[in-house]
Amino acid sequence: MLWNTILLALREIRRNVMRSFLTVLGIVIGVGAVITMVTIGGGATLQVQQQIASMGSNMLMVSPGKRLGPGQSSGNVPFKEADVEAIMREVSSIAAVAPVSSQSVQAILGNQNWATQVTGSDNNYFYITKRSVATGRQFSESELRSGAAVCVVGETVRKKLFGGQDALGEKLRLQKLSCEVIGILAEKGQSTMGQDQDDVVVIPIRTLQRRITGNQEIGLIQVSVQDGASTDKARQDISKLMRERRHLAPSDDDNFNVMDMKEIAKMLTSTTELLTALLSAVAAVSLLVGGIGIMNIMLVSVTERTREIGVRLAIGALEREVLTQFLVEAVVLSSLGGIIGIILALIASVWLGSVLRVPFVFNAPIIFVSFLFSAAVGMIFGYFPALKAARLDPIEALRHE
């Protein structure tokens, strides 16, 4: 009997293809939006995790100022070169320490002009950030010590300024500094924050201080903890050391900040997850709206088919059979909407994923749940119209015009 009822429902839907489609449009959009959001969100989370992993999970960042949030600070007391040396010397379990200072500059080559970021550091920077020099070489000891006018450029800078030409040995100008390209970084792509990590020029820290910023300050200290050592322990040790060096009283807050990449990873992941949840919730509201659309059309359908219902009752349909028929119709309708929504969502996810450069992650549970949910919407919102149909008085119904 149920199979027959489903056949009857499909027959009914086929009788009114256009209206059926418009009816389920709400469900299609709702299901499609929820699945797309969850899939893209899942992809973004995965991407964040992958990028964090590629950056190295045993990395600490020491930045000046009170902690406000990731990368934000205020009341800066900048670091000095001595701080970097002290950390390397005093804190055990540390593999490498790199001073990092950055500034936005115009990189100029002939009549080519490109706004980029110049980073002053040393060779440890390449090690800690897991970057390698693809062609050319790193800085030499003497270049670092003397603050020589040499630079290692990222792939984006190379492409923008040199195009197809050979960059090695050429000289490009950063403000008043004319420096020789000695190496090109291996490509790394976008960072978690959406920055192009290849849009960078790396020069020795001393060169940056003397020729560009004009001071001895170090903006950031990056620390790599030895494999297998506790990053928490290293973090506490650095904290203690910096408090001593800055002569902070026990009652004072830190005026610097030691961040663990693991923590940032966790935070970024939870942010993406929260965003995904919020967007999905908004999308879910459209499912509700879709349900109301179904109820609306089912009510219209009951009114329109009053005579038909009368005929069915007259030829011996039971109340529960009429109820089942309309309920099944609503459920079949909304389930079809769900299926269309799922298909559209998968197409949209793959497409959006490629546009946003987010990996496509097939999420079977959410698809299954969305399908069940769309069926449930039909069940819930179809019940009232179905009940109305089943309770019709056959005499009245047959007389209905």
Token readout for 355 is 């546009």
**Biggest alpha carbon–alpha carbon distance for the chain:** 103
Complex with another protein: residue 315 or 355, whichever CB lies closer: 315
Distance of CA 386 to the CA centre of its chain: 44
Q: Which residues pair with 114 in a beta bridge?
A: 107
Q: Least separation, in Å, of the C-beta of 23 and another protein?
A: 17
Q: Do 26 and 377 touch, CB atoms closer than 8 A?
A: no
Q: Least separation, in Å, of the C-beta of 11 and another protein?
A: 7
Distance of CA 81 to the CA centre of its chain: 36
Q: Least separation, in Å, of the C-beta of 372 and another protein?
A: 28
- Per the listing, tokens 């960059």 go with 167
Q: Least separation, in Å, of the C-beta of 15 and another protein?
A: 5
Token readout for 121 is 């550091």
Q: Do 116 and 199 touch, CB atoms closer than 8 A?
A: yes
For residue 239, the tally of other CB atoms under 10 A from its CB is 16
Residues that bind another protein (CB under 8 A): 1, 4, 8, 11, 15, 307-308, 310-321, 394-395, 398
Q: How far apart, in Å, are the Cα atoms of 168 and each of 107, 133, 171, 180? A: 15, 12, 9, 8
Complex with another protein: residue 5 or 76, whichever CB lies closer: 5
Q: Which residues pair with 196 in a beta bridge?
A: 190
Complex with another protein: residue 89 or 399, whichever CB lies closer: 399
Report the alpha-carbon distance of residue 87 to residue 203 in Å, rounded.
22
Complex with another protein: residue 290 or 310, whichever CB lies closer: 310
Complex with another protein: residue 67 or 388, whichever CB lies closer: 388
Q: Least separation, in Å, of the C-beta of 367 and another protein?
A: 33
Complex with another protein: residue 282 or 318, whichever CB lies closer: 318
Q: Least separation, in Å, of the C-beta of 311 and another protein?
A: 5
